[in-house]
Structure formats: structure tokens, C-alpha cells
Structure 1
Amino acid sequence: MTLAHGTATQAAGELHDHGPADGFWDFARPAGGPVAGIAEFRHWFARQARAHRYAVDRVPFSALSGWHFDADGDLVHESGGFFAISGLRVRTDFRRPRAWAQPVIVQPEIGLLGILVKRFDGVPHLLMQAKMEPGNVNTLQLSPTVQATRSNYTGVHRGRRVPYVEYFMGPRRGTVLADSLQSEQGWWFLHKRNRNMVVETRDEVPLLDGFSWLTLAQLGELLTTDNLVNMDSRTVLSTLACGEPAPGLVDTVADPYRRAALRSLAPRYGSVHSLHEVLRRLTDSRARHELVQRRVPLRDVLDEGLWRRTETGIARPDGRHFEVIGVDVRAERREVGRWSQPLVAPVAGLSGLFVKRIDGVLHLLLEARVEAGTLNVCEYAPSVQCSPSHQGAGERPELLDRLLSAPRERIRYDAVQSEEGGRFHHAVTRNLIVEADDAFAAVEPEGYCWVTLHQAQALLRHSNYLNVQARTLIACLQLGLF
């Protein structure tokens, strides 16, 4: 297959590949700054976990302070803010015609996820936070500088002020490197999006308790640890366009896989499809597939009998998909010290990305995928995205068995990562990046598309092109190159 070169991205109009992040790929500079290394960070993180007391207890719905079931059977907060557990009726022809009803999280407000960047000795460092979330499997994970719902940063909860939020709102004190609205999990949320921002500052930034400066290389190493870097950090990191590595740098890389991945970041090395074609294929899927969504009272979903509500949960009798539960939370270092809320507790998931070197350039195999709550019919998703334990006859994705049977030497990334702990209880996904062998056809199945890293970066400057599972894998792949 011959790759297209030159002006592949120009045909897409305002979408482009060149970002303002200068010097991110200069590997020759020593990593100075306030953190000496990963070992020091791990000691700091362990101290953070020991220094504060947290408790999360499952409780019946009747014990959720401030929450109640309204006349429609929806689980809502007395303030009218935060979010609600409502009902959703869906009809789609994706893969096969089907229709169903399910509970869904309705949270119309747009949250803010922001990472602050500052250079120490010329090396970019990112300000990250050790943050407790009630649904985290291990309580404390590494979050962005700012991770806040509108209810948080506007003070609906009447709690403490969100630290560092002034760098991301109003007259900003720095250079905006990334700023886009990105979706969250389409199977559990209805049309949910967050603002993902990266801002670089030259200010002297006071380092508050619970925050740490880390380099991209350090974050890349931490992403190989299970359940450490949280979902909100991963989605913001995916939107940070690190620019193109210089040709001289690429040519000095001995490992063929890593060299192909670095070439994937630069348009000059070409791609199977132009960015115009990548967009056209997604548009074609959006026009070709049907996705009819109708919010309905949760009572209507329960009346159908497939979902049942008890004093302690809302779930299917067969245990499939997820359960809605209630928790009571005590957290010393949160904006509010104690609260209660519902959480969605899903079964374990799998996200798998096939990558392939095509004419020396690494390409990612993405699928235009429909999900129940997606805002615009479908988004590009990983090659495989499913809950393996719930794949019945005729339901297993075409590429699942091929992914799971990949030989060890072709697995480029394998880690379990948590989904967002503010809404989901112990939601974990195994994330796999597998390099396809020569027998893997370069011609994509219908609905799939080979995309380079620089094309993915261009798409991530805008909203609703790549889903949150794809963004996690792109962040893990890209930061693993540093």
C-alpha cells in the first residue's frame, strides 16, 4: 500500500496538525525540575494516601442525604443540580437492528478538566493532583490540576474553592495549548461532555498539598501501572498535541516500532488516508446508521421488567451491564468533607487497539461506533470495545478473539485502568495495544479506518470525534514514546 504524502491534512479545512507545544520532543535535555524521579513520586503518593482519611460505604437509597426518587421515578438531588439517574429508550441499526430501555446518567452541565504546564530547566512539567474519588478501586488516583463539575466550581455544593481554577477560567494567565469539549462514556451517560484544557504558564505557581509536578516521560511510565492515572487525566493528556519530532530525532531511534510511532506523529511521512477521508468515513457512518434516543421516566424502564429496583440497587436480574447503587462518603481533603450520592457499578470492560506499521508509519485501527448516549450518532472508538464476560453467541466483536490471542511479543501495552470515580463504582477496563502482524489485512472492515497519530491529534482539537476509550489508548501510546 502506498501512503499519501504532503497536504493530507489541508483538505480538512480548519483541522490541522501543528500545535503550539514547542520542545516537547527534545529527549536530549535532562529532566530537571521539582521531582527527581519516579521513585520519589511513588513515596510522595504513598504519603498522600496515608495522610488523609477516606471512607466509602454502600447504603440503601433511603439513606442518601439530599437525594430522592421523584414522581417519574428518577433519582434526583434536592438542589436540582449535580446529575440524575433517569431512563433512556434507544433504537439503532448498528451491527443489527435492536431497541431497548435502560437507566442513564443525565448531567447536562459541562465539567472542567484542566492540566497546568510549566517549564523547569526548559523541560515541560504538568501539575497533577492526588485526588480521592468515591468510586475509585484504590481510593486515591492521579487526576488533572483541575477536575470539577460546574456545580463544584460555581459553589452549588457550598464547599471549599477549587484550587488553580483561575488558570482555566476568565482572563487566563498563560498560553492555551489545548481546549475542546470531549465526550464521556456513551453507554452510561446521555450526551455528557467535559471541557478538556491544557494551559502553559510562566507564573510562579505555589505548590499546594496534594499536587505534584511530573514530566510527560514520568506520566508515560506511570500509565503502565494499573489504576493510577485516572480517566480524567488520560482524556486531557490525549488532547495535548506534542508537535512533530524533528527528522533527526526520528532517524536516531533504533527500535523499528518506536520509530514508526514517531513517524506517525508527522504528516511528512504520509498516511493511508487523508484527514479529509478519515472525516468522510465518520460522516458516512453517522449518516448511514440510525440512533434514536428518547429520555423517559426511570419508572417506565422499571415497568418493563428487565431492570428492577430494590432498596439497595437498580439492576438486571441476569447481572448484565451495570448496577446503580448508593454510597455515603467521608473525605478529608475534598471541597466537601461528607456527602452521599448514587454511583453506576458496571461489569469489567475491555478496550483493544490494533496498530500496524504501514510503509514504516504506525497506523491505529479505529471503529466508528454507536453507543446509547452518544451525542452525534457515533464516534471513533478502539478496534475492540466490549465487556468480554457478557458476550453471548453472535455478540462477540469480530476482532475480540484475535486481540486476546495475540502473542506476548506483539502486545505493546497492557494495563487495567479505572473509569471516572466520581460517577462509577470500581469501573475498570483492561486496555490493550497489539501490533498486528503481516497477516492482518491493511484493507479495513466496513466501519473501520486506519488513522495515524498526527491525524488523531488533529481530530482531538475538536469535539466528539474520538470516544473516551480511544482517547485513553492514544494517551498511553503517545506518552509511552517519551
Structure 2
Amino acid sequence: MKEFLADTPYAPAAFHRWFEAARQNIYTRVERVPLTALDSWDCAPGAAALTHRSGRFFSIEGLRTHLSEGAVQSWDQPIINQPETGILGILVKRFGGVVRCLMQAKAEPGNINGLQLSPTVQATRSNFSGVHRGKPVPYLEYFQNTAAHRVIADVRQSEQASWFLRKRNRNMIVEVREDVEAADGFTWLTLAEIRRLLRIDDLVSMDARSVLACMPFEGEPRVRPSSHRRGSGPSTTEDLLSWITAARSRIDVRTERLPLTELKGWQRGPSGIAHESGRFFDVIGVRVEAAGREVGAWSQPMIAAHGTGLVAFLVTRFDGVPHVLVNQRPEPGCVDVVELGPTVQCTPRNYDHLPPGARPLFLDEVLTAAPERIRFDVTLSDEGGRLFHTRNRHLVVETDERPDHPGFRWVSLSQLSALMRHSHYVNMEARSLLACLHALYEPAGSALANERRETS
């Protein structure tokens, strides 16, 4: 783990002082409790689903999934059902020509380090409509009334489709011209500063990474038409869209909602719901006391994964332009069958008992990469409001190989960034890695490069 200390290349002293000061006033204290001990939740042992008595927030239900193709074509699981669109928004402003983002220190019950660097606004509809009867969400008005401001990005994107059933959030970046004061627990940071902080384990939240990935990727030179080749070479955007549409037309994903008591392979015990193999994840209960949030205390069910996941991009260059190897990923929570994911997206320990042929493609290549080929390596947390101490190792590995597989394609960062302007093309895990790739490959001459010179 990279140390979080003052005056390091990743955490300058000013940020360190602000973040540690925020930690004194913004925190959660979390106690794991049986599901039956959750206040305001219906979690009886024979309950068909875990639901809040208000009928709002979210529920945990049973799901059976059938895929028409893939190594595993049918399985049962609990899944989070939250049929409302939240807002994830970052407010930006230019200070002397340098773009800065208003970020907040936010505590979530599932965060490993308690406090993480989060977007300006991170709220479900239940939160900002006042269902929790808590304090209003700061700065929400900038994202609900955008007419007087410049909207840089505004797009609905999926949550993690293996944990959430067709859940979406409105990812927004809004630029303001007037002065906006940073309230307690908020600070203005440059993009360069935020991208350096991405190299610190469990610091920049998943929701922040999702919004940061929506930043336009600037200045990438185009691949010359003569270098375009089908198969293992780069694709035109038209070919890429056709490839995705063909997969969505070919692959059949059928889901069936079931009572939790009818899920095959899952058992309800005193501490929660778990798979009989001891793998995958558990459904647990937590009781939370909080400071610096809209509500001071609550209880809820959460999902707690077994083992650290892995999300990785293989990267190569065509005519000097970095391209990443994306994978078509059908998942039960997808709105439109498949989204583009990283080269590798899995929890390796879930495959330890299987023969080599059953392991995900390129997993071993990524795990055994020579150190000089690893360009980025950090472990970052998943969404801490619903997922408890759940993390993924983020890897970017450069390669000279150009594998050709029908479920994978090489795409440039500008192509991937362009797809981010539309809903349901790039999954959460790939967006999280794309935020890291911005820091690695933003070219000289871009606004970010100018910002680096001014802030160095």
C-alpha cells in the first residue's frame, strides 16, 4: 500500500492537513449485526426480500440468471434492487485558467478507510427528496438547475451490474463562473492533484472515479486510416458500435426474480446470507453512527465480497497511440445486455479451484506481467454505501502482444471517452480504470498538461 503522508508526490501537505482535519468531524462508526436486528427493515428469516419499511431506498432480492453463452450459463444470487436514478456530480471552476474540482471528504459505512475523496454531490433520489428526513444535500441546486452554467458532462451510467439490478446514476460535470465557497468538508483541487491521489489505495471513491472518467480526453492524435485493420488491429468507431450492437442482438440474458429463500446454493445463517461454497460474497447487516452526514444514525443490509477483485487493462500502441483491450461483458444487472468492460474483471480466488481452461482470458498474463510493463497498480474501494469493505486491484499493463478474440477489441482512449457521452456502453469497472488512464496518457499540450506546469 502506498503511504498517505504529507509532502509525498501523491499527497501534498496542504491536502494532507485538510483531509486529516475533515476526518475529525466526518466519520462513521459501523457495527455488524444480524439482519433481524436492522431497525426499519423487514428482514425476517423467511422474507422473500430484504426491504425498508418506507418502501424506498433499496432492497436485496433474489435473482436467477441465464446466459446464452459463456463459461457459466446459469446461476442464482442475491442482488441490490434500487430502481431510482441518483446524482453523482462534480462542480468545476477555472482559477487563473486552471480547472479545479470541488471535492468532498465523505464517510460511507462500507469504506475501508472510513473517509474517501468523493464528488461534490453524491446522492440517491431518496436522499435528495428528503425520505431520510435529514439535512439537505449541499450544492445540489447546481446540478438540478443547470441553465446558468456550462454542462461539461451529463449522462446516465450504470452501477456495477454484478451487484446492482439495472441501477443507474446521473453522472454530471458542471462548470460555474461565479465564486463558490467550499463548505466544511469540501475543497477545490486541480485535476492533476486528484489524478495523483488516484495512486493512493482506497482514497478516491468509486463514485468520484466514475464522474472523473466523463472528463473529455484531450488532444489524442488519430490513428491513420492506413493503420486500420480488422481483427487484432484498431477499429473505427463505426465498427466498434456495430460490434457492440451485434453482441446485444446475439446474446440472450434472461433474469428471473426469486424469493431469497429459493436461491440455489445460498444459505441464511445467524450473521447473514452466504454461498455454501464460502466464495463470492455475503449479505450482512450493519448499524451505523455518523457525523458530517445528512443523517446521524441508521441501519441497513450490505454486500461484503470475499477476496479482493481485479480489474485490468492490457494496453498497446498503434502508430504511437495507446489502445486498451476491452471486453464485451453481459451481466445480470445490465440495462442493455452487454457493456464494455476491462480486459480482465474478476475475483481471482473464485477461480482457484477450477482448471486453467476455466480461468478468465488474460488473467494469468496480467498477474504474471513483468514489473517494467506495469504502468499503474493500486487497490481502490467499491461503492461504500451498499458494499462493505469491497475492493478491486486496478492494473494497467503494457504489452507488445495483440491478441485477437471475438469478445475483445482494441479501442483508443478517445474512442472510449467518446462512448462515455452515451449511456450504457462502458461499465463501472472500465470507467474506474479510465479515470486512472487519464492520468497516465493525457497528452502534452492538453489543458491537463498546462495545469501540471502551473501547479508543479
The two structures have a TM-score, normalised by structure 2, of 0.89
- Equivalent AA in structure 2 for residue 423 of structure 1: R
Q: Residues of 1 paired with 2:160 and 2:25: CA distance? A: 32
Q: Residues of 2 paired with 1:322 and 1:62: CA distance? A: 19
Q: What is the SS of the residue equivalent to 1:42?
A: helix
Deviation at 1:62, TM superposition (A): 1.8
Q: Residues of 1 paired with 2:332 and 2:419: CA distance? A: 22
Is residue 92 of structure 1 aligned with residue 67 of structure 2? yes
Q: Which residue of 2 aligns with 1:420?
A: 383
Conservation of the 8 A alpha-carbon contact between 2:28 and 2:108: no
Offset from partner CA, 1:382-433 (integer Å, 9 cap, x none): 0011110111224311201111111111101000000000000000000000
Q: Residues of 2 paired with 1:326 and 1:60: CA distance? A: 6
Q: Which residue of 2 aligns with 1:389?
A: 349
Q: Which residue of 1 aligns with 2:8?
A: none
- The structure-2 alpha-carbon separation of the partners of 1:171 and 1:235, relative to structure 1 and needing over 3 Å to count, comes to closer
Q: Which residue of 1 aligns with 2:412?
A: 452
- Equivalent AA in structure 2 for residue 320 of structure 1: R
Which is further off, 357-366 or 424-433?
357-366
- Equivalent AA in structure 2 for residue 41 of structure 1: F
Q: What is the SS of the residue equivalent to 1:239?
A: coil
Q: Which residue of 1 aligns with 2:249?
A: 287
Q: Residues of 2 paired with 1:405 and 1:93: CA distance? A: 31
Runs of 4+ in structure 1 deviating by more than 6 angstroms, as ranges, are 267-271
Q: Residues of 2 paired with 1:268 and 1:160: CA distance? A: 54
- Equivalent AA in structure 2 for residue 340 of structure 1: S
Residues 286-365 of structure 1: matches in 2 within 5 Å?
A: 286-301=248-263, 304=264, 306-347=265-306, 348-365=308-325
Deviation at 1:87, TM superposition (A): 0.7
Conservation of the 8 A alpha-carbon contact between 1:267 and 1:454: no
Q: Which runs of 5+ in 1 are unaligned?
A: 1-36, 245-261
- Equivalent AA in structure 2 for residue 308 of structure 1: Q
Conservation of the 8 A alpha-carbon contact between 2:27 and 2:115: no
Residues 240-255 of structure 1: matches in 2 within 5 Å?
A: 240-244=215-219
Which is further off, 89-98 or 319-328?
89-98
Q: What is the SS of the residue equivalent to 2:144?
A: coil
Which is further off, 155-164 or 233-242?
233-242
Conservation of the 8 A alpha-carbon contact between 1:118 and 1:201: yes
Which of 8, 19, 25 is the matching residue for 1:51? 25
Conservation of the 8 A alpha-carbon contact between 1:444 and 1:450: no
- Equivalent AA in structure 2 for residue 436 of structure 1: T
Percent identity, aligned pairs only, is: 48
Q: Which residue of 2 aligns with 1:406?
A: 369
Q: Residues of 2 paired with 1:146 and 1:202: CA distance? A: 18
Q: Residues of 1 paired with 2:68 and 2:79: CA distance? A: 20
Q: Which residue of 2 aligns with 1:160?
A: 135
Which is further off, 404-413 or 369-378?
369-378
Conservation of the 8 A alpha-carbon contact between 1:166 and 1:172: no
Offset from partner CA, 1:200-228 (integer Å, 9 cap, x none): 00111021000011111111100011000
Q: Residues of 1 paired with 2:24 and 2:342: CA distance? A: 37
Q: Residues of 2 paired with 1:214 and 1:179: CA distance? A: 21
Q: Residues of 1 paired with 2:184 and 2:417: CA distance? A: 33
Which of 330, 346, 350 is the matching residue for 1:370? 330
Aligned length: 421
Which is further off, 279-288 or 157-166?
279-288
Conservation of the 8 A alpha-carbon contact between 2:287 and 2:299: yes
Conservation of the 8 A alpha-carbon contact between 1:113 and 1:194: yes
Deviation at 1:268, TM superposition (A): 7.3
Q: What is the SS of the residue equivalent to 2:60?
A: strand
Conservation of the 8 A alpha-carbon contact between 1:273 and 1:450: yes
Q: Which residue of 2 aligns with 1:249?
A: none
The two structures have a TM-score, normalised by structure 1, of 0.85
Q: Residues of 2 paired with 1:242 and 1:474: CA distance? A: 10
